[in-house]
C-alpha cells in the first residue's frame, strides 16, 4: 500500500514533467518557425502514445492511470484540433488532412470558447464551490484584461520574448484581480446571500466606471494598439495554442485545488457554514481564499481576452458580461466543473451558429434559457462531474461483463 | 482538575436572560446530561460553549484556558466538538468527505502541496483516508463511505454527525439531542455507541436529551435548567425524585 | 442657492421614479425571494404601451391607466409562464430564468419597435413657471405627485385590505400562509400585477423625463432602482422608497456638483459603504443565522 503510493507520486511527477516538457517544446518550436510544428506535433503524438502504454500497463496504480487518462484526453483534443487550425494557414504542414480545415473565423471561436471556459470555471469556483453568488465576475475580468494589456506593452517594448511577455502579463493580470478579490472578499464576510451578490455587482460597476475615467486605460474610447497577440506578430493559429494550454492549466489548477483539503474546506462552507465552523473550518480564511482564487483565474481569463481582442473598452465588461458568464455556470450545473466547460463551449458556439437567423437569434437564445431552467433547474450536470477513469472503468466492466463493485470507489480522478 | 469549567455564565438577548449564572465542572471522561423543558436555554448553553453566541458575562475555561470571545473554529481547535439538534451534515458530499473535512485540522500540507500533488499531499491524504475510515467503522458507517450524506437513513445521519465531531479530536463532546426522532431500538443502540465513544476516545461528554431512558441510563450526573437557571443538579436517581424538576416538567 | 433648489427638485423627480420602480423589485423579492431581473424590461414595455396609446390620441389619465393595466397583465403572464414552474427549484435557477425573461422581453421589443429611439409624445404640455427664481416644470409636480399617490394607495392596500394582509403573511412564511388557507399562487400573481403596474408608471414617467423610448433603456434605471431596493433593505417597502430618493439625490447632486462621468460610480460606492455598516440595508434587520 505504502509502496504503491510512492510509485503514484513518482509516476505522477514523471507524467507531469513529460506533459509540461512536451507542451513547452511545442511552444518553442511553434514560435521558432512554422515547419517545426510538424516535429512538435509528432512529439505530442508520441508522448501521448507513451502515456497510453503506461495507462494500459497492469502494474500502474489506479490513481496514476486516471491522471494519465486525463492527460491523454487533453492531448487528443489538441492533436485533433490543432491541425485543423494550423492547416488553414500552412496547408503543407499536415498534408494528410487533404484540405479539411477550420476557417480563421472558427479558430476565433475556438479561442473564445477556451477563454469562456476559463471565465466560467473560475466563476463556478466562487459561486458553485464556495457557494456565494457573484454578479460581478466581469470586474475581475476587466482588471485582468487591462493589467495584462498594459504590462504586455511594457514587457514587449523591453524586448522580452513573446512567450514570457504573455505568461508574465497574464500572471500580473491574475494577481491584481486576486488582490481585488481579497479586497471585496473581506467586506463580503459581513454580508449574506443576495446582499453579497449586489456587493459584487456594485464592485464590478465601480471598476468599469474607474476604467472609464482614467487616462492610461484609454477611458471610454478604449485601449488600442497595445501589445496584443496580433501586434506581437503571433498568428491566430499559434496564439490558439497559448490559449488552449492556459485554459488547461487553469482548469487543472481549479480541479486539483477543489480536491485537496483546502478545496474540501471551501465546499463545506457552501454546504453548511455553521457546521463547517463547528468542525474547525476557518470560514474567514477560506471565504477570502475562495474569492481570491476565483478572481485570480478570472483575471487570467481577462488577460487572454485582451491578447485576443487587440482592443479593450470598459463597456465590454458591463453587467451583461457578468450575466453571460453566470448563465454558463448555472446552465452547466453549479459545482460541476465539467458542466461549466460544456456550457461554456455550447453557449459560445450556439449564438454563433444562430447568427444566420440574426434578428431572432437572441429571442431563441432567451427562450432556450428559460425552457432549459424550467426543464432542468439544476443545470445540465447538477453537481456531477464527468470522470474519464470512471467511464473507462465502466466500459471495461461492461466489456468483461463483470462489475466488481469498483465503480463505487472514489478517490482522485 | 476539571477539563471544562464554566463560571457564572450569563447571556442576555435584548432584555431576555436566556442563560442565568450557569455553572459547570466537567471532569475528564465524565458523561453529564443537561435537561430541562423546551425553551429552558439548553441549546443556548451549547452555543455559548462553542462560540456561536457571546456571553454577556461569565467565564468558560477549557483545560484552564479561557475560550470566551473566541471564534467557533478556534474553539474546535482547542478541543470542543459538537453536534446539532437539527442535523447539519454536508449533504452533497460523501460520508467519507464529511469526516475528512473535520479531519482538516490534523493535516497541514500547503496549497502548493495540494495543487502540485507533491509527496506530502499523498502521504497525508492516504493517512487521512485510513484514519477516517477507521473512525467510520467504529460507528458501522464504513460501508457507506462513498454514499452521499443526504442519502443516509436518519439514524445513520445522527451517528455520522457524532463521528464527524469526533474527527476534530475533541477533549469535550457536546451532543444536542442525539436521540431525537429515533425509535426505542435505535435509541438503545445509540446509548451503547455513546458509552463506547466515551471509553474509546477517552473524552468528556455533555449531552442534551429529552429521552429520559437515555439520560437516566447513561449519564453519571445530571443538570436540570429552567428559564436559563440551574434548578437541580445531582445523580440520576436524585434528579428523578427532585420536586423542583418534577414541577418544571409537569407544572404545579 | 437657486441652483441647489433646482437640483433638489430634480432629485425629487428622478428619486420618485426610482422609488416607484424599486417597489416592484422589493415586492417580488419579499414574496418569492427572487431578484426579478425582467422588471427593467417590464418598465420599458409600459412606456411602449403608453407611446402607442398616446399616438392614438387618448388623454393622459387613460393612457396611464390602460398602460398600467396592460403591463400588469404582462407581468402576470410572465409569472405564470416562466416563474411559476420554478417555485420549488433552486433559487439561482429562478434568477437565471429572470435573466432569460429580461433578454426575451428586450429582444421582442427590438423586433417590434427596432432599436432606434422613438420620441415620447408630450402627454401633457404645460409651460414651466417660476417660483422665487426657481424654474418648475409642472411635469415634475405630476411625477412626484403620482408616485407619492400610488405609494400611499399601495401602503393602504397592504396594511388594511384582506389581500394586502395575505401578501404580508406570504412574505413572512409561504408554507404557513398556505396552511392558513391563503391561496399563495393567487397572492404571487397579484404581487406581480401590482409590481408590474408600478413599473409601468415608473417607465412612463422616466420616458417623459428623457422624452424618448428605446428597447434597452430599462437597463440602467432598472439597475439603479434595484440598488435602491437593496439600499433600503430588500423586501421592505418603505426601504425601497427611501432608497429610491437617496439614489436619486446622490445621482443628481454628484452630476451637478462633482462630475457626471463619476456619478454612477458614486451611486454604487455609496451602496457598498452603506452595506458595510448596515449589511441588510438601511431599514433591514440584520438577522444572524440560527444555530
Q: Nearest-CA distance from B46 to chain C in Å?
A: 10
Identify the pLDDT of residue A409. Answer: 35
Provide, as residue numbers in chain C, all residues whose Cβ is less than 8 Å from the Cβ of B84: 291
Phi, psi of B6, deg, nearest 5: -115, 125
> Residue B157 falls within a domain, yes or no?
no
Q: Does A274 touch chain C (CB under 8 A)?
A: yes
How many domains, in total, are found in chain B? 1
Say which DSSP state C290 is in. P
Provide, as residue numbers in chain A, all residues whose Cβ is less than 8 Å from the Cβ of C215: none
Tell me the pairing of strands B65-66 and B31-35. Answer: unpaired
Greater model confidence, A84 or B186: B186
Dist. CA A412–CA A390, nearest whole Å: 11
Q: Which residue of A has its CA nearest to C228?
A: A198
User: What is the residue-averaged pLDDT of chain B?
Assistant: 92
> Residue A245 falls within a domain, yes or no?
yes
Subunits with 3+ C-beta pairs closer than 8 A to A? B, C
The partner residue sitting opposite B91, judged by closest CB among A263, A271, A274, is: A271
Identify the pLDDT of residue C291. Answer: 61
- The pTM assigned to this predicted structure is 0.86
Provide, as residue numbers in chain B, all residues whose Cβ is less than 8 Å from the Cβ of C291: 43, 47, 52-53, 84
How many Cβ contacts (< 8 angstroms) between chains A and B?
Answer: 112
Dist. CA C184–CA A172, nearest whole Å: 52
The partner residue sitting opposite B104, judged by closest CB among A253, A265, A409, is: A265
Q: Are residues A62 and A204 in the same domain?
A: no
Dist. CA A332–CA A320, nearest whole Å: 18
Tell me the pairing of strands B31-35 and B221-226. Answer: parallel
Residue pLDDT tens, chain A, 413 long: 445 555 555 666 666 666 666 666 665 555 555 545 566 667 777 777 777 777 777 776 777 777 777 777 777 777 777 777 766 666 665 655 555 666 677 888 899 999 999 999 999 999 999 999 899 999 999 999 999 999 999 999 998 888 899 999 999 999 999 999 998 888 777 787 778 888 899 999 999 999 999 989 998 899 999 999 999 988 887 888 889 889 999 999 999 999 999 999 999 999 999 999 999 999 999 999 999 999 999 999 999 999 999 999 999 999 889 988 998 998 888 889 999 999 999 888 887 777 777 677 778 878 888 888 888 887 777 767 766 666 666 666 676 654 444 433 333 33
Site from B70, B95, B117 to mutate, A interface, most A CB atoms within 10 angstroms: B117
Residue B186 belongs to domain with CATH number:
3.40.50.300
Dist. CA A317–CA A114, nearest whole Å: 18
Identify the pLDDT of residue A343. Answer: 92
> Is the Cβ pair A194, C93 closer than 8 Å?
no
Question: Average pLDDT of B201-205?
Answer: 93
Q: Are residues A88 and A115 in the same domain?
A: no
Q: Are residues A83 and A156 in the same domain?
A: no
Site from B11, B18, B52 to mutate, C interface, most C CB atoms within 10 angstroms: B52
> Is the Cβ pair B114, A281 closer than 8 Å?
no
> Residue A381 falls within a domain, yes or no?
no
> Is the Cβ pair A187, C275 closer than 8 Å?
yes
Q: Does B47 touch chain C (CB under 8 A)?
A: yes
Q: Please state which of the ranges A374-378, B21-25, C30-34, C126-130 shows the lowest mean pLDDT.
A: C126-130
Q: Are residues A313 and A240 in the same domain?
A: yes
| H/E run at residue B4 | strand B4-13
The partner residue sitting opposite A280, judged by closest CB among B73, B117, B123, is: B73
> CA geometry: angle at C169 spanning C165 and C170, to 5°?
120
Subunits with 3+ C-beta pairs closer than 8 A to B? A, C
Provide, as residue numbers in chain C, all residues whose Cβ is less than 8 Å from the Cβ of A327: 96, 99
Helices (H), B11-118: 42-49, 72-78, 95-102, 111-115
Domain that holds residue A94: 1-102
Residue A241 belongs to domain with CATH number:
1.10.3470
Three cell numbers written together for C95: 434568477
Q: Are residues A120 and A79 in the same domain?
A: no
> Is the Cβ pair C96, A369 closer than 8 Å?
yes
> Residue B226 falls within a domain, yes or no?
yes
Site from C275, C284, C285, C286 to mutate, A interface, most A CB atoms within 10 angstroms: C275
> Is the Cβ pair A373, C97 closer than 8 Å?
yes
Q: Are residues A291 and A250 in the same domain?
A: yes
Domain boundary among A85, A102, A119: A102
Q: Nearest-CA distance from A327 to chain C in Å?
A: 7
* Of A207, A153, A155, A150, the residue nearest A173 (C-alpha): A150
At C90-139, the pLDDT tens digits run 787 888 889 899 989 999 999 999 889 988 887 776 777 877 777 788 88
Provide, as residue numbers in chain C, all residues whose Cβ is less than 8 Å from the Cβ of B44: none
> Residue B246 falls within a domain, yes or no?
yes
Q: Does C92 touch chain B (CB under 8 A)?
A: no
> Residue B102 falls within a domain, yes or no?
no
> Residue A403 falls within a domain, yes or no?
no
Q: Which residue of B has its CA nearest to A251?
A: B115
> Is the Cβ pair C96, A334 closer than 8 Å?
no
Q: Are residues A61 and A125 in the same domain?
A: no
Q: Are residues A83 and A51 in the same domain?
A: yes
Q: Nearest-CA distance from B84 to chain C in Å?
A: 8
Dist. CA A23–CA A41, nearest whole Å: 10
Which stretches of chain A sit within 8 Å of chain B by CB? 1, 5-6, 8-9, 12, 16, 253, 256-257, 260-265, 267-268, 271-272, 274-284, 335, 383, 408-410
Dist. CA C204–CA C63, nearest whole Å: 10
Three cell numbers written together for A257: 485545488
How many Cβ contacts (< 8 angstroms) between chains B and C?
Answer: 5
Q: What are the E-state strand segments in B83-194? A: 172-176
Phi, psi of A327, deg, nearest 5: -60, -45
> Is the Cβ pair C268, A205 closer than 8 Å?
yes
* Of A191, A255, A274, A123, the residue nearest B90 (C-alpha): A274
> Residue A411 falls within a domain, yes or no?
no
Q: Nearest-CA distance from B239 to chain A in Å?
A: 31
Q: Which residue of B has its CA nearest to A253?
A: B115
Beta carbons within 8 Å of C141's beta carbon, 6+ residues apart: none
Do residues A144 and A302 lie in contact, with contact meaning Cβ atoms separated by under 8 Å?
yes
| H/E run at residue A206 | helix A193-213
Cα–Cα distance list, C287 to A190, C91, C237, C280, C290 (Å) = 11, 20, 18, 8, 9
Domain that holds residue B222: 4-92+168-250
> Residue A160 falls within a domain, yes or no?
yes
> Is the Cβ pair A209, C268 closer than 8 Å?
yes
Query: What is the tally of helices (H) and strands (E) in chain B?
Result: 10, 10
Q: Are residues A297 and A165 in the same domain?
A: yes
Residue with cell 483545560: B63
Question: Average pLDDT of C26-46?
Answer: 92
> Is the Cβ pair C281, A195 closer than 8 Å?
yes
The partner residue sitting opposite A278, judged by closest CB among B82, B100, B121, is: B82
Provide the terminal-to-terminal Cα distance of chain B, rounded to the nearest Å: 39
Do residues C240 and C25 lie in contact, with contact meaning Cβ atoms separated by under 8 Å?
yes
At C205-238, the pLDDT tens digits run 999 888 899 999 998 899 899 989 989 988 888 8
Q: Please, what sign has the CA dihedral across residues A185, A189, A195, A196?
A: positive
DSSP labels for C2-71?
HHHHHHHHHHHHHHHHHHHHHHHHHHHHHHH----TTHHHHHHHHHHHHHHHHHTT--HHHHHHHHHHHH
Q: Are residues A17 and A123 in the same domain?
A: no
Q: Which residue of B has its CA nearest to A9?
A: B119
Amino acid at each position: 500500500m505504502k509502496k504503491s503510493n510512492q510509485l503514484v507520486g513518482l509516476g505522477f511527477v514523471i507524467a507531469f514533467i513529460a506533459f509540461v516538457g512536451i507542451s513547452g517544446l511545442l511552444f518553442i518550436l511553434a514560435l521558432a518557425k512554422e515547419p517545426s510544428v510538424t516535429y512538435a506535433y509528432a512529439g505530442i503524438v508520441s508522448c501521448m502514445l507513451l502515456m497510453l502504454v503506461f495507462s494500459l500497463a497492469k502494474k500502474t496504480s489506479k490513481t496514476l492511470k486516471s491522471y494519465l487518462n486525463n492527460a491523454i484526453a487533453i492531448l487528443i483534443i489538441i492533436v485533433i484540433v490543432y491541425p485543423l487550425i494550423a492547416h488553414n494557414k500552412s496547408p503543407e504542414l499536415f498534408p494528410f488532412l487533404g484540405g479539411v480545415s477550420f476557417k480563421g473565423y472558427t479558430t476565433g471561436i475556438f479561442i473564445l470558447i477556451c477563454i469562456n471556459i476559463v471565465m466560467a470555471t473560475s466563476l463556478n469556483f466562487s459561486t458553485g464551490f464556495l457557494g456565494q453568488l457573484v454578479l460581478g465576475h466581469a470586474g475581475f475580468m476587466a482588471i485582468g484584461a487591462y493589467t495584462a494589456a498594459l504590462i504586455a506593452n511594457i514587457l514587449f517594448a523591453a524586448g522580452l520574448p513573446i512567450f514570457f511577455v504573455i505568461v508574465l502579463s497574464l500572471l500580473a493580470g491574475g494577481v491584481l484581480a486576486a488582490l481585488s478579490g481579497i479586497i471585496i472578499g473581506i467586506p463580503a464576510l459581513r454580508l449574506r446571500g443576495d446582499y453579497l451578490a449586489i456587493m459584487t455587482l456594485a464592485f464590478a460597476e465601480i471598476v468599469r466606471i474607474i476604467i472609464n475615467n482614467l487616462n492610461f486605460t484609454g477611458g471610454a474610447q478604449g485601449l488600442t494598439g497595445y501589445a496584443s497577440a496580433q501586434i506581437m506578430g503571433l498568428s491566430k493559429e499559434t496564439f490558439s495554442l497559448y490559449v488552449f494550454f492556459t485554459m488547461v492549466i487553469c482548469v487543472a489548477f481549479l480541479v486539483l485545488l477543489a480536491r485537496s483539503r483546502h478545496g474540501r474546506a471551501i465546499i463545506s462552507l457552501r454546504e453548511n457554514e455553521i457546521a463547517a465552523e463547528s468542525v474547525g473550518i476557518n470560514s474567514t480564511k477560506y471565504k477570502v481564499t475562495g474569492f481570491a482564487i476565483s478572481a485570480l483565474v478570472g483575471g487570467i481569463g481577462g488577460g487572454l481576452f485582451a491578447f485576443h481582442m487587440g482592443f479593450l473598452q470598459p463597456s465590454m465588461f458591463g453587467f451583461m458580461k457578468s450575466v453571460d458568464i453566470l448563465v454558463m455556470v448555472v446552465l452547466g450545473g453549479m459545482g460541476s466543473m465539467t458542466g461549466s466547460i460544456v456550457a461554456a463551449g455550447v453557449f459560445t458556439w450556439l449564438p454563433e451558429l444562430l447568427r444566420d437567423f440574426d434578428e431572432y437569434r437572441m429571442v431563441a437564445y432567451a427562450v432556450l434559457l428559460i425552457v432549459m431552467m424550467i426543464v432542468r433547474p439544476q443545470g445540465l450536470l447538477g453537481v456531477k462531474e464527468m470522470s474519464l477513469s470512471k467511464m473507462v472503468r465502466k466500459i471495461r466492466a461492461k466489456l468483461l461483463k463483470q462489475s466488481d463493485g469498483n465503480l463505487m470507489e472514489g478517490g482522485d480522478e | 482538575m476539571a477539563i471544562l469549567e464554566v463560571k457564572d455564565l450569563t447571556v442576555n438577548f435584548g432584555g431576555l436572560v436566556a442563560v442565568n449564572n450557569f455553572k459547570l465542572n466537567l471532569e475528564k471522561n465524565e458523561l453529564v446530561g443537561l435537561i430541562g423543558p423546551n425553551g429552558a436555554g439548553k441549546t443556548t448553553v451549547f452555543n455559548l460553549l462553542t462560540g456561536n453566541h457571546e456571553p454577556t458575562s461569565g467565564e468558560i475555561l477549557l483545560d484552564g484556558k479561557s475560550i470566551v470571545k473566541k471564534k467557533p473554529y478556534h474553539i474546535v481547535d482547542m478541543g470542543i466538538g459538537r453536534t446539532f439538534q437539527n442535523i447539519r451534515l454536508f449533504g452533497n458530499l460523501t460520508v467519507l468527505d464529511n469526516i475528512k473535512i473535520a479531519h482538516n485540522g490534523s493535516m497541514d500540507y500547503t496549497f502548493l502541496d495540494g495543487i502540485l500533488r507533491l509527496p506530502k499531499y499523498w502521504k497525508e491524504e492516504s493517512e487521512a483516508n485510513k484514519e477516517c475510515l477507521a473512525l467510520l467503522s467504529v460507528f458501522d458507517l464504513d460501508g457507506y463511505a462513498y454514499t452521499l450524506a443526504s442519502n443516509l437513513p436518519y439514524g445513520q445521519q445522527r451517528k455520522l454527525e457524532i463521528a464527524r465531531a469526533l474527527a476534530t479530536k475533541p477533549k469535550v463532546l457536546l451532543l444536542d439531542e442525539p436521540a431525537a426522532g429515533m425509535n426505542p431500538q435505535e435509541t438503545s443502540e445509540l446509548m451503547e455507541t455513546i458509552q463506547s465513544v466515551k471509553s474509546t476516545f477517552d473524552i468528556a461528554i455533555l449531552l442534551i436529551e429529552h429521552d429520559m431512558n437515555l439520560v437516566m441510563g447513561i449519564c453519571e450526573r445530571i443538570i436540570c435548567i429552567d428559564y436559563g437557571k440551574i434548578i437541580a443538579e445531582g445523580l440520576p436517581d436524585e434528579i428523578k425524585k427532585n420536586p423542583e424538576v418534577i414541577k418544571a416538567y409537569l407544572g404545579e | 442657492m437657486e441652483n441647489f433648489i433646482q437640483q433638489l427638485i430634480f432629485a425629487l423627480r428622478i428619486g420618485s421614479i426610482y422609488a416607484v420602480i424599486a417597489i416592484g423589485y422589493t415586492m417580488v423579492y419579499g414574496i418569492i425571494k427572487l431578484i426579478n431581473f425582467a422588471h427593467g424590461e417590464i418598465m420599458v414595455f409600459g412606456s411602449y404601451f403608453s407611446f402607442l396609446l398616446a399616438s392614438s390620441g387618448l388623454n393622459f389619465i387613460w393612457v396611464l391607466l390602460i398602460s398600467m393595466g396592460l403591463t400588469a397583465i404582462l407581468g402576470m403572464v410572465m409569472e405564470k409562464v416562466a416563474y411559476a414552474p420554478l417555485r420549488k427549484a433552486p433559487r439561482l435557477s429562478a434568477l437565471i430564468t429572470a435573466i432569460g425573461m429580461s433578454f426575451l422581453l428586450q429582444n421582442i421589443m427590438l423586433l417590434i419597435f427596432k432599436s432606434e429611439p422613438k420620441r415620447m409624445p408630450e402627454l401633457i404640455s404645460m409651460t414651466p413657471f417660476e417660483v422665487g427664481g426657481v424654474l418648475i416644470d409642472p411635469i415634475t409636480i405630476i411625477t412626484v405627485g403620482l408616485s407619492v399617490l400610488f405609494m400611499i394607495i399601495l401602503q393602504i392596500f397592504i396594511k388594511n385590505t384582506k389581500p394586502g394582509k395575505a401578501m404580508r403573511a406570504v412574505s413572512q412564511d409561504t408554507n404557513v400562509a398556505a396552511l392558513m388557507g391563503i391561496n399563495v399562487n393567487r397572492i404571487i400573481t397579484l404581487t406581480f400585477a401590482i409590481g408590474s403596474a408600478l413599473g409601468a408608471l415608473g417607465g412612463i414617467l422616466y420616458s417623459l423625463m428623457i422624452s424618448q423610448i428605446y428597447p434597452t433603456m430599462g437597463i440602467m434605471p432598472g439597475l439603479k432602482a434595484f440598488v435602491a431596493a437593496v439600499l433600503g433593505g430588500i423586501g421592505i417597502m418603505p426601504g425601497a422608497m427611501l432608497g429610491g430618493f437617496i439614489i436619486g439625490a446622490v445621482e443628481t447632486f454628484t452630476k451637478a456638483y462633482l462630475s457626471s462621468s463619476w456619478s454612477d460610480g458614486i451611486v454604487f460606492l455609496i451602496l457598498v459603504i452603506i452595506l458595510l455598516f448596515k449589511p441588510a440595508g438601511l431599514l433591514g434587520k440584520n438577522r444572524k443565522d440560527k444555530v
